[in-house]
A and B are shown apart, each in its own frame.
Chain A
Amino acid sequence: MTSNLIVYLIAIPLFSSAVLLLSGRKANKWGHLLGTLASASSFGVGGYLFTQMLAQPAEERALTQKLFSWINVGSFNVDASLLLDQLSICFVLLITGVGTLIHIYSISYMSHDLDRRRFFAYLNLFIAAMLLLVLGDSYLNLYVGWEGVGLASYLLIGFWNQKPTYATAAKKAFVMNRVGDLGLSLAIMIAFASMGTVSFAGIEEAAPKASTTTLTAIGIMLLIAAAGKSAQFPLQAWLGDAMAGPTPVSALIHAATMVTAGVYLITRSNFIFDAAPTAQLLVVIVGAITLLFGAVVGTAKDDIKKALAASTMSQIGYMILAAGLGPVGYAFAIMHLLTHGFFKAGMFLGAGSVMHGMNDEVNMRKYGALRKFMPITFITFGLGYLAIIGVPPFAGFYSKDMIIETALNAGGIKGILLGSAALFGAGLTAFYMTRVMILTFTGTKRWDDEAHPHESPILMWLPMAILAIGSVASGFLFTRGDALVHWLEPVVAPHEHGEHSELLPPIVVSGLALTIVLIGISIAVMMYVRRPVADVAPENVSALTRIVRQDLLQDVANEAIFMRPGQALTKTLITVDEKVIDGVVHGVGAIAIGSGSELRKTQTGYVRSYSALILVGAAAIVLGIWVITQ
């Protein structure tokens, strides 16, 4: 079925972004209102299309819209077409819904910033690009959105680029994302070279005929792309620094939407990964490593935003893990993505609210006892906290439990390893999130006298409250009658019922997960409630703690493996260029100049010498001819 409305999802925020960027200072008064309105209208269109989809039978729900014929060269035809199916609509509603809430929040959060209009322009640009990413019907269309969100992310991380470290963080994110983008472009090229098409439908049709090697290659390239965008191992290092951006950006882009694009990519490419077991195994491994990596890093962070960023990385690791488990996992990956979108965005906004009241202090060791001063922030953050650690009946319990269960049931040693990783990660999550809660909201006050903690205005706490409601209810709603699983079935291949053996009954898995979560909470309570918390990070800690504080040496490793050899290579090439290539060029010039100045000496300017030379030359020629003809 076609629908002419889909394009407005993208066009409204894009147009608003252009207006805000081009109209200059005149729009300062109403720029933020236009930006919010654009996002809300997009959400309205999304909601209307959702009701239209609901009215159709399951197989006919996908809506398409052809915009124009984009590339038309020989047998290579790409249309700029949009595809709104069961998977896209989940993202559309998440992006525009959470996006609108964060726009509303930003009106107040950024009210003292002189560049608020530009901020909203970038936010709108991000919304448009992200919607294009999830609505494109081919990898090429997706790629445009993929690069668009990269640009918006770069602009917003470096929004306060008057601080050099923030500008560097933006560049770091951009460069690491480029590595992933290269993977995506290579995947598109391989797909085109081997199947002659880049559209999802075309590749899905051609995939069964393609060789496993080709599919594995495409799968690995797509995994690299997903790792770059979603901050997965080994391209995870940029996410922590990306917290340089304003907090609403961290909530929208680096928690709820953009960083989950990798999960979308893998779920969308299910037809490739299902046919390429090696690539799928790599996906699972990357997911498992990252979920532990992020969780471990999160345990040592004193910066509230960086702790949440590490947590984001870890939670996306869960999603990638689920997406790598094949048809049984896709729906759970998306479910966790949606619930995570609610609770993590809510917690980031809560962190922003705390910073707002504490003179932009981010160090949790300078917080403490904020519960009394910020009751609403405490409650909304607390609900998000209960959701992320997976306490029933909050959202995270349903989605994370499903992933752990699916991982355990993956079969054989693989299932046991993945299941234990996911369970251990759940324990770590409980530990570091409890630590964040305790350090921020309970205990004794550790802030300086200049700080005057106060509750944020309604424009800020209302979005937090709505997201908190989502963190409470969404998991229950998604799993009621397997609603989300059935909804996604037409896109991610039919569910294989009862084929996999169950290692442990679900109730036991839930019990196990809850026990581990409880252990995590108790350790955190023992460490941070029973003992006083120092307002500066203790120095005399074990080597392990020190390594974890340095993000498990991720920057050290990147610098040693890529940066220094890269610099050395560059220096060598500069030397070669200056000495060898420039030497040749300068040498040719010097030869010409030298021989010229020597020959110049024969030009005396005297007619007599010229005539003598002519005479000698003529005589020589005559002599030569005479010698030859003799």
Chain B
Amino acid sequence: MNSANYLYLSALLFTIGAVGVVVRRNAIVVFMCVELMLNAANLSFVTFSRINGNLDGQVVAFFTMVVAACEVVVGLAIIVTIYRSRRSASVDDANLLKR
């Protein structure tokens, strides 16, 4: 199968994730979209790894997964805390810095 197809899929996933981040208000959904973008990038890394015939891309993909796991832990903790204090998971309500 043509490797380019994986890249098209990756671009598609990234775009879906990016649009989700920009248009959705629910913090959990935004967060999931961020994860989608990360995994789109992972798919690209793995694809390039295969095209180039070495393991560099695979290694970077593993690093990205570790970083994503950390991010999920911290990000979810923040979202839960904000939800507890403000009774809302909307990202538009968390605009205190502007005031």
Interface residue B91 (Cβ < 8 Å from any Cβ of A)? yes
> By the criterion CB–CB under 8 Å, are A607 and B98 in contact?
no
Interface residue A597 (Cβ < 8 Å from any Cβ of B)? no
Q: Which stretch (B1-9, B18-26, B49-57, B64-72) binds chain A?
A: B18-26
Least CB distance, B69 to chain A, in whole angstroms: 21
> By the criterion CB–CB under 8 Å, are A608 and B22 in contact?
yes
User: How many angstroms from the CA of A603 to the CA of B99 in the assembled complex?
Assistant: 11
Please tell me which one of the listed residues A603, A604, A605, A608 contacts residue B23 in the complex, with CB atoms under 8 A apart.
Answer: A608
> By the criterion CB–CB under 8 Å, are A611 and B98 in contact?
no
Least CB distance, A547 to chain B, in whole angstroms: 78
Interface residue B85 (Cβ < 8 Å from any Cβ of A)? no
Q: A604-B98, A605-B99 are known contacts. Are A611 and B92 too (CB-CB below 8 A)?
A: no
> By the criterion CB–CB under 8 Å, are A608 and B98 in contact?
no
Residues of B within 8 A of A603 (CB): 98
> By the criterion CB–CB under 8 Å, are B25 and A608 in contact?
yes
Smallest Cβ-Cβ distance to A615: which chain B residue: B18
Interface residues in A505-550 by Cβ distance below 8 A to B read none
> By the criterion CB–CB under 8 Å, are A605 and B91 in contact?
no
User: How many angstroms from the CA of A606 to the CA of B18 in the assembled complex?
Assistant: 16
Interface residue A591 (Cβ < 8 Å from any Cβ of B)? no
> By the criterion CB–CB under 8 Å, are A612 and B22 in contact?
yes
User: How many angstroms from the CA of A606 to the CA of B98 in the assembled complex?
Assistant: 9
Interface residues in B17-36 by Cβ distance below 8 A to A read 18, 21-25, 30
Interface residue B12 (Cβ < 8 Å from any Cβ of A)? no
How many A-B residue pairs have C-beta atoms within 8 angstroms? Tell me.
29
Encode B64-99 as 1/0 by CB contact (under 8 A) with A: 000000000000000000000000000110111111
> By the criterion CB–CB under 8 Å, are B97 and A605 in contact?
yes
Residues of A within 8 A of B25 (CB): 608
User: How many angstroms from the CA of A604 to the CA of B25 in the assembled complex?
Assistant: 15
User: How many angstroms from the CA of A250 to the CA of B30 in the assembled complex?
Assistant: 95
User: How many angstroms from the CA of A604 to the CA of B94 in the assembled complex?
Assistant: 11
> By the criterion CB–CB under 8 Å, are B95 and A611 in contact?
no
Q: A606-B91, A607-B91, A608-B92 are known contacts. Are A615 and B22 too (CB-CB below 8 A)?
A: yes
Smallest Cβ-Cβ distance to B99: which chain A residue: A605
> By the criterion CB–CB under 8 Å, are A608 and B95 in contact?
no
Least CB distance, B47 to chain A, in whole angstroms: 18
> By the criterion CB–CB under 8 Å, are B97 and A608 in contact?
no
Residues of A within 8 A of B95 (CB): 604-606
Residues of A within 8 A of B23 (CB): 608
Smallest Cβ-Cβ distance to A605: which chain B residue: B98
Smallest Cβ-Cβ distance to B18: which chain A residue: A615
**Chain B positions near chain A (C-beta within 8 angstroms):** 18, 21-25, 30, 91-92, 94-99
Please name 18 pairs of A and B residues whose Cβ atoms are closer than 8 Å in the assembled complex, sorted by A. Answer: A605-B96, A605-B98, A605-B99, A606-B91, A606-B92, A606-B95, A607-B91, A607-B92, A607-B94, A608-B23, A608-B24, A608-B25, A608-B30, A608-B91, A611-B21, A611-B22, A615-B18, A615-B22
User: Which 3 A-B residue pairs are closest in the complex by CB-CB distance?
Assistant: A605-B98, A605-B95, A607-B91
